[in-house]
Chain A
């Protein structure tokens, strides 16, 4: 059962553009939603995370938008740069209980110079 669905699988954006990646979840008990960035040969690194009591969180060029009623959340990367080219994973988890992250399938983002 795929509990977190991520789209698109791949995305190409021009330098300076906005990259948008979407995720949908099924389990309403999830209460922690992080985004991870992964470069080839490296482990995932936490980019930004949100809890369902807020609808938006911004850190620098990265913004999470959260829609609790639709069970969807998205990552926006403003002014996308070639160095942002990586695979991005959304995830969902619980703040209590085991620290089990449920990941989406990933989006390979390419920023063209």
Chain B
């Protein structure tokens, strides 16, 4: 079975622009979480979605939003990009909403100029 897939692999944007990142979970997985990993640091939790509902939100500004589709894939949107948004954005999926192993995708590398 394919693992978690993310697109695009790399992305370059300028300050003030908007970006949409996409994630497809492992087949059968209903929970998707998003993390931001700044170079040299551990990932930081942004959102969790389960069955299309938001289950958790990290300490990120309202410029960050996400949604989950009926096929359990997910999008992360970031508006009004800042230089500090440059990071690796990771998507993780799990079978259920709680107490389950999270499997990470390879990430989308976002560079904001």
* Secondary structure call for the A interface: loop
Interface locus among B11-19, B65-73, B75-83, B98-106: B98-106
Size category of the binding interface on chain B: 20 to 34
Number of interchain pairs (Cβ within 8 Å): 68
CB-based contact B107/A43 at 8 Å: yes
CB-based contact B97/A44 at 8 Å: no
Q: Which residue of B lies closest to A108 (CB)?
A: B40
User: Is residue A46 contacting chain B, with contact meaning CB distance below 8 A?
Assistant: yes
Interface size on A, residues (CB 8 A): 27
Q: A43-B90, A43-B104, A43-B107 are in contact. Are A96 and B43 (CB under 8 A)?
A: no
Which B residues lie at the A interface, using CB under 8 A?
4, 31, 33, 35, 40-45, 48, 55-56, 58, 90, 92, 94, 97-107
